[in-house]
Chain A
Amino acid sequence: MGYAMTMPAETDTSSPKYLRDKYAIVGVGETEYMRGSGVTTRALGTKAVRNAIEDAGLKPSDVDGMLSYQSGDSTFSTFIAGDLGIRPNFYMDVFGGGSSTEALVGMAMGLMEAGMCKAVVIFRAMNGFSQVRIGGTGARAVAPVSGDMLHARAYGWQSAGQMFAPSFMRHMYDYGTRPEQVAAVKAIHSEHASNNPKAFYKERVSVDDVLKSRIICKPLHLLDCCVETDNGTALVVTSAERARDCRHPRTMIRGVVGRCNKPRTDMHYQHGPISTVAGKYAREILWRNSGVGPEDIDVTGSYDAFTFTTMLQLEDYGFCKKGEGGNYVSDGTIRLGGRRPNNTSGGHLCEGYTHGLNMVIENVRQLRHDADDSCPVGPDGKRQHTYDYREGGCRQAKKCELTTNMGWANPGTGSAMVMRNE
């Protein structure tokens, strides 16, 4: 696992500050991905957290740290702690959406390193279709426009797609990226989702289907955009030592970078090139902390709020040369069976929208070699993967030892994490 990136002279990667392989993800849990959950975010979160703790082979009383993220659209850790009988030695609910998952994994490691708690559950619960619409329609679209918001919302510049679109358009202008290249992200993720019984959209779509779907805001067609769903998702993080006693083989955390920014952060478009995203900065921390590089990675989870976000991040984290992302996402590399499949669950475009947490869950399952597809379960309780990726078949990557997740808040802010199995 050699990576030829030059380290700054003062970097000593044997230093204890590099927490490589000291912490592990031991449990993953979720609800269904649905539209019309019929229950509260508290109920969704409780179910996901309970499932994650159970998956780890732990009891609620074994968990003593809680972290969550939301934007005024969810329940708080304390409600779920109370409902499940968890007594937190630490909890915090942070404001934010995409990019929070990996950032909170990093915070969980820091909390345990500081001796503040010993097993942390991270959750996101949202009724992103039936309550606070993630696409920005409904109550959010008619809220009064105040103060700083006048510089955006007064121009009809409000939804995530509208806000990111100038960065996407400029990428096409700067590099000649073509609509059909980017549409391949949706087509490929839909192939993956067709082998995921949990996915909200399981139907395969073609590049042509994407290009023929109606324009939402250029360059985004309807099928370039993710699916709003209701769901709860959760992870359990603990020390590598304690992880030995858990149910599954350990998923080791190699390195994390959390909510790393471009200059001017929320005003990132003031500082060009606007077709470059936060990954350009985050990669300097991610690969150094992980001790590996993009060429070592088997499976990626590049946030697909839109087809374009997947492409821009893969490019800026160094999986291909800057400007060649259109080629990279359309030449078969990111397809199951390809050199480095991306979002093998179907991701936000097809499985469901979670602000990133389901993509980490998927990579944990890939690293366990236990993707929950339709392959038969053997006498040992493990799936007998066929590696036949035709519709309705397998979605386990044949070789999966190292994964990278890349979370996206906006073009200016992102997080990432490298995990490995053992």
Chain B
Amino acid sequence: MAVQGTYLGMPLDVNDLDVENLAYFKHCAQHDFHLQKCSACGLLRYPPTTACPWCASPESAWTKVEGKGAVHSYTEVHHAIQPAFKAHSPYLILLVDLDTQKGKPSEHEALRVVGNLVTQDGTLAPAEMVRRVGIGTRVRMVFADVSPSLAIPHWTIDEGAEQPAKPWRYPQE
């Protein structure tokens, strides 16, 4: 069944034909990150797709995946486009390499999962936290709840992990 909700004032919806995204966000709503695992070749994929990008098999099973990884790249947005984000600028958009399946099936591939930098309770990070994060920062997944069937996965600094001495940041602060 279709899901709808409002997040930071933005209307979000997934229609009832979009079974892949419905399943993805339903797991997120349970704060339980799942990805499709190909039934033929066994590779996980992100974001949801209708077949396997590596072997074209249409069969897959939703599989629990650990939400831990390191920042592969990012941008720090100072001039927000969407009204929802103007009050939260600067905000970080992170591309995170999951530890799971990193470097597979080829050297430079990874499950690169998008998210904002947020606090542990899922709200967009304040400026002082934004300044601590760069390429290499270890992060863990947290969720921002939208509705009973919809939550948005995000990233927060993994305080329990060993962090790089100095994550790479754009030279101009």
Contacts and interface: CB of A to CB of B under 8 A. Distances in A.
Given A155-B116, A179-B171, A217-B75, 15 more contacts: A141-B81, A146-B15, A148-B21, A150-B12, A155-B115, A156-B85, A167-B73, A170-B135, A216-B79, A264-B53, A267-B47, A270-B109, A270-B110, A270-B111, A274-B72
A271 interface: yes
Interface string A253-287: 00000000000100101111110000000000000
Contacts of B109: 270-272
A89 interface: no
Contacts of B79: 214-217
A156 B14 contact: no
Interface in A142-176: 142, 144-148, 150-159, 162, 165-167, 169-170, 172-173
Interface of A: 135-137, 141-142, 144-148, 150-159, 162, 165-167, 169-170, 172-173, 178-179, 211, 214-219, 264, 267, 269-274
Nearest to B168: A173
30 contacts: A141-B81, A142-B82, A145-B11, A145-B13, A146-B13, A147-B21, A148-B21, A153-B82, A154-B152, A155-B93, A155-B152, A156-B77, A157-B93, A158-B81, A159-B81, A162-B75, A162-B77, A166-B72, A166-B95, A169-B75, A178-B171, A179-B170, A179-B171, A217-B76, A217-B77, A218-B75, A219-B75, A219-B170, A271-B108, A273-B108
Interface of B: 7, 10-15, 18, 21, 25, 46-47, 53, 72-85, 88, 91, 93, 95, 106-112, 114-116, 135, 152, 168, 170-172
B74 A154 contact: no
Contacts of A166: 72-75, 93, 95
Contacts of B108: 271-273
Contact of B73 (A158, A173, A216): A173
Nearest to B107: A272
A141 B79 CA distance: 13
Residue with the highest number of chain A CB atoms closer than 10 Å, among B18, B110, B170: B170
Nearest to A170: B73
A169 B94 CA distance: 11
Nearest to A263: B53
Nearest to B21: A147
Contacts of A179: 170-172
B15 A150 contact: no
Contacts of B88: 156
A272 B73 CA distance: 11
A172 B169 CA distance: 10
Contacts of A152: 114
Contacts of A216: 77-79
A211 B172 contact: yes
Contacts of A159: 81
A155 B18 contact: no
Contacts of B77: 156, 162, 216-217
B73 A274 contact: yes
A216 B168 CA distance: 19
A264 B51 CA distance: 12
B10 A154 contact: yes
